[in-house]
Homo-oligomer: A and B are copies of this chain.
């Protein structure tokens, strides 16, 4: 597909639609808008446009489709695989100002929002009404549009699932500018192919989400976290399936290791209490009565100490302890980033039985190819975040080692029944590995689907497939 060169009349058209204050030409653009959080790929658009309502999105898409101008959607730009980077130039369509709460429907327990609303704003908005939006991706300043586009997961997936499970309906602008509705405020849906589920996780390549109907539930009244030290990582991770299958599902099961905690301590500049053991599980439960929570704490403590070799069980109960432990966990990515000049990541998801084996493989690989590979992850759902760090490597060594290293990492994951991405998506950076995972037939099916939605290939070209 040959795209048309962007010209002065295109600027005029866009300014007419969204106002000149919402159109930033390439020459005036902040470099931050040429990449995402991880900066593995970088490209400037011809123009950066802020939209403020769905009619603007429709008009711009209709125009871009007729004029053959590529359009890439961007929310907060917190992605890690380059999905929002306009690698073919054209229009960077920014939904961050399209951030209204459209309706809180308490009877149907749904929240309807525009795509630019931030995840942290959603929590705040619904929780004061006694309601709960459960998905809990690490990056709270991501937009809900971005969360939907990558099917973001997060820590509470063990009990509550991922973004997909919390999206009841979507209003989507197709590449030709047409507005369509998928799903609705309904709990069940067996009405034809699930186009809604096709949009979720499609990373802005099939259509532009202009509003979303989210499922809510009554907020659990009580919650508790436990920090449980083990003699080593293997003991900790081996305990996970037993903790999960014990009784009530935990909301989250994270694993922490001394090394990663040290990183966080350095980065945050403060000590974390009880952080002197080799490995930990950080286990959370929620419920509605104190008795329920106490019962679960008793059960899991007994199980871990008596049967699974845990050294102790620390209740993360005071506000200070909670703040300290969860901020340490939350700071892992930032701490790793701050420790080196450049990183690239592997977001594999594995059957949870294989996490330990996979991490041993990773540590051996780190030795073998001479690259530092810190990691952390969601032990409860098998999703690992593994980071290659450039440190003192030359550009050439970095390229070579990441290429060899990632290939080995992904092949090993596939061998164990894992997938390329648990929650960060494919975007630009992980395309070759998706193909390795699913093979040519599935790539062709995905290409046909892309072709059906976007025959001119103007929407986020060059991503996923």
Contact = CB atoms under 8 A, between A and B. Distances in A.
Nearest to A215: B161
Contacts of A245: 106, 109, 130-131, 218
Interface in A441-460: 441-442, 445-446, 448-449, 451-453
Interface in A420-435: 420-426, 434
A112 to B, nearest CB: 11
A188 interface: yes
A396 to B, nearest CB: 30
Interface string A165-208: 10000000010001010111111111111110110111000100
Q: Is the interface of A mostly helix, strand, loop or mixed?
A: loop
A247 interface: yes
Interface residues of A, number: 92
Given A186-B419, A249-B218, A192 B158 contact: no
A252 B437 CA distance: 39
Chain B CB within 10 Å — which of A289, A423, A437 has the most? A289
A187 B383 contact: yes
Chain B CB within 10 Å — which of A184, A353, A448 has the most? A184
A153 to B, nearest CB: 4
A214 to B, nearest CB: 14
Given A108-B353, A245-B106, A151 B189 contact: yes
A17 interface: no
A190 B417 contact: no
B190 A422 contact: yes
A349 B201 CA distance: 25
A270 to B, nearest CB: 31
Given A247-B288, A353-B108, A446 B190 contact: no
Contact of A295 (B110, B289, B464): B289
Contact of A446 (B164, B192, B350, B383): B192
A262 interface: no
A244 interface: yes
Contacts of A116: none
B107 A352 contact: yes
A438 to B, nearest CB: 6
B288 A289 contact: no
Nearest to A453: B445
Interface string A247-271: 1110000000000000000000000
A187 B107 contact: no
Contact of A188 (B131, B248, B383): B383
Given A190-B151, A192-B426, A192-B464, A448 B452 contact: yes
B352 A190 contact: no
Contacts of A70: none
A184 B438 contact: no
A6 to B, nearest CB: 28
Given A108-B353, A351-B186, A353-B105, A192 B295 contact: no
For the complex of A and B, the 4 pairs showing the least CB-CB separation, nearest first, are A448-B452, A197-B197, A187-B381, A188-B422
Given A150-B190, A248-B288, 9 more contacts: A106-B241, A187-B381, A188-B349, A190-B423, A191-B437, A191-B438, A192-B465, A193-B449, A291-B291
25 contacts: A106-B241, A106-B245, A107-B351, A109-B245, A151-B190, A157-B188, A164-B194, A178-B441, A184-B418, A186-B381, A187-B349, A187-B380, A188-B382, A190-B421, A190-B425, A191-B419, A191-B420, A191-B438, A192-B201, A192-B426, A193-B206, A193-B464, A195-B442, A195-B446, A198-B198
